[in-house]
Amino acid sequence: MSGSASSEDSALLFLNRTEARAVAAFTSELIPSEEGSPGAVEAGVTTYIDRALAGFMRDLQPVYRRGLEALADLAAERFGCSFGEATSAQKRHLIAELDDLGRNEPANFLGQFFRIVREHTIQGFFGDPAYGGNRDTVGWKLVGFPGAQWGYTSEQMQRGVDSRTFPILTVKDLYARIGEAK
Amino acid sequence: MIEKFDAIVVGMGSSGGIVAEQLTKSGARVLGLEKGPEYSQEDFEVKADELRYYQRGAIVAGVAVDPVTWRPDEKTQARVLPWSAGALGTDEPLYGLPSIGTGGGTLHWGAAAYRFREADFRMKSAIAERFGHGALPEGSTLADWPISYADLEPYYEKVEHQQGYSGRAGNVDGEFPEGTNPFDVWRRSDYPMPPVTQGPGDLPWVEATKRLGYHPFRQPLAINSQEYKGRPACVNCGFCHGFPCHVKAKSTTQVTSIPAAKATGNLDLRANSRVLRVNRSADGRRVTGVTYVDSADQIHEVEAEIVVLAAYALENVRLMLVSGINKNGQVGQHFQTHNFGWFGSILPEATNPFIGTFNASSAIDDFTSELVPDNDLGVLWGSPIISVTGDLQPIEAYHNMNPSVQKWGLELKHWLRDNYRHMHRMYSQTTNFPYARHYVDLDPSVKDRWGQPAIRITHEWEDHDANSVSLMGRYKEKIAREMGATEFWMDSPRPPYHLSTHDVGVHRMGLDPATSVTDPFGHVHECDGLYAVGGGGFVSYGGYNPNETIQALAYMSAGHLIENLGSTAGRSQAHVA
């Protein structure tokens, strides 16, 4: 996975291209892509994070700048290349280290940065597509969440119902339906 | 010229909406001040958005606007809520301040609607009778309530019928219908509606608890199961707890009392209007009105002989303290909150945990309050165990996942893929005794954007809290095993949060003005005409959700106010242009 999809096919609102590539490479390790099963990259998690940093999360702009620099420095020191250019094993090794820091050393900046990016990766993967991530509702398809439903019938609430048969809806779909009703 | 009203109600939420409705219907001219927005139903038309409401807290003020600080003890520097502020703060509405705007906390609530038990009102005496006078933990300031269940019962009745509650009562005037809660407190009539549609994930829980000899019952909820008073039945959308309701099926004063109050023509509702202080006569003995700031930062002074603080327990305290009202040192004491004791399981069958409301489920009262069995952990007062089957969106599921699973990589992805649709949760809010060392006061350094001091919480989970979670955890584990759970896990008995939207006790009611803040009607002892209503008045706190009791107390206070206003209502009209 090149990890560059999101920086090439959509406008960037805060991150520069190098940063966007780093975010894509990093979040791709948090929710990896598999054959037939999209991950963070296909979901557009980088776009979600970029838009959020330009808006709702603008207070975190300096945290991302500093975090991505620290990540680049660490990768250069350990592997002599950028994080994105490292091997899969190298990337996973580094992420395991950051996860450990995040859990055991609450004051460590890189550990904090790991937890922040992970939180936003989850948001970008499972949030409504209106926010720029969860493209084609791939996150919801993965887990079997039917999305932004107006409601469920009592038949749908029966035991043993396969919820993967429910058509997935988004906030946009609900607005379209309201528009039609009026 | 200064505007004058018969009464000013501060906060148009759960209590404030009810008080405003009752007063305006009696003919009083009421000014309703609400620091949040005035919502219309169109605002909530499409609310099925987990990021907007659950993760970004769209209907709560948030600690950036309403800072709250916390410290575990007096030796430690307080910080703005470390579990919800900062880069990782997620604003999950369980661990912050309640929603604001018209409807207040009844916008976001999960609508679990319990009456307290008879024994809950005399917790101190009941514990002494069973376990001896020395049984309470050191430093506890537990007391009995100045009112009994029987005093409040007519108002519980009123809440259920006026605000629209659904369920099936277990004890209607001594009748115990089959399949209901045999431990239910007595009442004069059943809920006006049957329970809402049950979530599929509740069935294995009900079967398991029955096999274990427990007595599951459908939870009473403030959600319509059928059309009621012009509002439709719940459509089971599964975006309920933490979300506003898009069809008006959830009972919130935004759709019950506030429209009724407006319809009288006697309510002057001013949204985005934040009260800065309570004003009093020169000798401090009488309330004269309030000062508030509007959304354009204009400061206004308004007058009334009655001022009702209904702005949430913590905010009521903050307003009294910034106004210099605390002669006996009791304002802000006896802080109590809920520890949820979350317990997660993965069930063999699909639970479809996104379907229907949070509480479209059952509970057991076998170990609640005075029914707690003798135990080796020294737990003196028990809790209901509640099955949660709906309302779980994927990001919240991630926050609630099995902590032993690696939370990145294919492990994370595959765990959520395989288990999300099989998740089941239980919780049991545990009894939180009051102590002199648990209180709220004004933070000496943190201020809000209007330059007012933040409220500061001093609270730490005590052994009794942790042991209560552990004791209830044993029963939950038994139930999980009986359901055939393939994985299960439990929250720490001493969780990181110390705020639960269930924060109570800080302006305690009592008959003795030396040891309490208000009388049972919420009248503040030291200031004539000033009332503080809401959960702040609670004297003790068992495991039931607080809101039905908050609303019952609001009806009781309103009745008392109307009696006292009788001679003065309408008098203010002469002063208003």
Q: Each residue of B507-553: pLDDT tens digit?
A: 999 999 999 999 999 999 999 999 999 999 999 999 999 999 999 99
Residue of B46, B49, B354 lying closest to A145 (CB–CB):
B354
CB contact under 8 A, A159 and B203: yes
What is the average per-residue pLDDT within B8-26? 98
Whether the pLDDT of residue B13 is over 70: the answer is yes
Which value does ipTM take for this structure? 0.96
Q: What is the pLDDT of residue A3?
A: 43
Nearest to A143 among B50, B394, B406 (CB): B394
Residue in A30, A56, A157 closest to B355 by CB: A157
A17-30 and B409-419 are packed helices; what angle lies between their axes, rounded to 10 degrees? 60
Closest chain A residue to the Cα of B360, Cα to Cα: A157
Given pLDDT bands bounded at 50, 70 and 90, which one contains residue B227?
A: very high
Q: Is the pLDDT of residue B576 over 50?
A: no
**Confidence (pLDDT) at B294:** 97
Q: Do B354 and A163 touch (CB under 8 A)?
A: yes
Assess whether pLDDT exceeds 70 at residue A54.
yes
Which tokens sit at B524? 């503040």
Q: Which residues of A touch B409 (CB under 8 A)?
A: 29-30, 32, 92, 95
For the cut 80, the answer to whether the pLDDT of residue B94 exceeds it is no
Indicate yes or no: CB of B50 within 8 angstroms of CB of A126: yes
Is a pLDDT exceeding 70 seen at residue B569? no
Q: Identify the band that residue B567 occupies on the pLDDT scale cut at 50, 70 and 90.
A: low
pLDDT attached to residue B423: 98
pLDDT above 90: residue A178: no
In this structure, of B120-134, B171-185, B296-310, B428-442, the range with the lowest mean pLDDT score is: B171-185
- Please give the pLDDT value at position B565: 81
Both tokens assigned to A67: 């975090």
Tell me which of A42, A126, A140 to substitute to probe the interface with B (most B C-beta atoms closer than 10 Å): A126
Q: What is the per-residue pLDDT for B91?
A: 47
The residue that leads in pLDDT, B94 or B12, is B12
Q: Which residues fall within 8 angstroms of residue B66, CB to CB, at 6 or more apart?
A: B97, B315, B448, B454
Torsion of CA B179, B181, B182, B187, to 10 degrees: -120
Selection from B205, B245, B222 nearest residue B427 by Cα: B205
Exposed e or buried b for every residue in B125-164, given b needs 16+ CB within 10 A?
Answer: ebbbeeeeeeebeeebbbbbbbbebeebbebbbbbbebbb
CA dihedral of B454, B455, B460, B465, whole degrees rounded to 10:
-140
pLDDT band at B63 (very low <50, low <70, confident <90, very high): confident
Contact call for A157 and B397, based on CB within 8 A: no
Does residue B251 surpass a pLDDT of 80?
Answer: yes
Average pLDDT over residues B55-79: 92
pLDDT tens-digit series, residues B449-473? 999 999 999 999 999 999 999 999 9
pLDDT of residue B61: 84
**B contacts of A36 (beta carbons < 8 Å):** none
> For chain A, what are the domain ranges?
5-139, 146-182
Residue B299 Ramachandran class (φ > 0 left, ψ -120 to 50 alpha, else beta) = beta
pLDDT tier for residue B87 given thresholds of 50, 70 and 90? low
Alpha carbon distance B242, B244 (integer Å): 7
Measure Cα distances from B126 to B119, B145, B282, B415, B465 in Å.
7, 12, 44, 46, 18
Interface of B with A in 190-219 (CB under 8 A): 197-200, 203
How far does B43 lie from chain A, in Å, by closest CA? 12
A161 and chain B in contact, CB less than 8 A: yes
d(CA B194, nearest CA chain A) in Å: 15
- Whether B52 has a pLDDT exceeding 70, the answer reads yes
Q: Is the pLDDT of residue B177 over 80?
A: yes
- Most B CBs within 10 Å, among A113, A120, A157, A182, to test the B interface: A157
Parallel/antiparallel/unpaired status of strands B267-270 and B30-33: parallel
Largest CA distance in chain B: 72
pLDDT in tens, A11-30: 999 999 999 999 999 999 99
Give the model's pLDDT for residue A106: 82
Residue B100 CB: number of other CB atoms within 10 A? 28
Tell me the per-residue pLDDT of B335-362, one tens digit each, with 9 for 90 and over.
Answer: 999 999 999 999 999 999 999 999 999 9
Mean pLDDT estimate for chain B: 95
CB B361 within 8 A of CB B198: yes
Average pLDDT over residues A60-72: 96
Asked whether residue B574 carries a pLDDT value surpassing 60, the answer given is no
* pLDDT band per the 50, 70, 90 thresholds, residue B64: confident
Model pLDDT, residue B179: 82
Note the pLDDT of residue A5: 46
- The answer on pLDDT for B279 being more than 80 is yes
pLDDT in tens, B130-168: 999 999 999 999 999 999 999 999 999 999 999 999 999
SS3 label, residue A82: coil
Of A144, A145, A157, Cβ closest to residue B199: A157
Q: Which CATH superfamily is domain B3-575 in?
A: FAD/NAD(P)-binding domain (3.50.50.60)
Instruction: Write out residues 426-465 of B within 8 Å (CB-CB) of A.
Output: none
A151 contacts B355? CB cut-off 8 A: no
The pLDDT assigned to B493 comes to: 96
Which pLDDT belongs to residue B480?
A: 98
What's the pLDDT at B85? 61
pLDDT at A2 over 80: no
Tokens linked to B290: 């309030």
* Whether the predicted pLDDT of B194 surpasses 70: yes
- Give the mutation candidate from A93, A99, A145 for the B interface (greatest B CB count, under 10 A): A145
A-B contacts at Cβ under 8 angstroms: 130
- Tell whether the model's pLDDT for residue B62 goes beyond 90: no
Q: Which of A128, A157, A160 sits opposite B356 (nearest CB)?
A: A157
- Position B427 scores a pLDDT of 97
- Closest CA in chain B for residue A176: B46
A63/B90: higher pLDDT: A63
Q: Which two tokens stand for residue A74?
A: 């660490």
Q: What are phi and psi of B460, to 5 degrees?
A: -140, 145
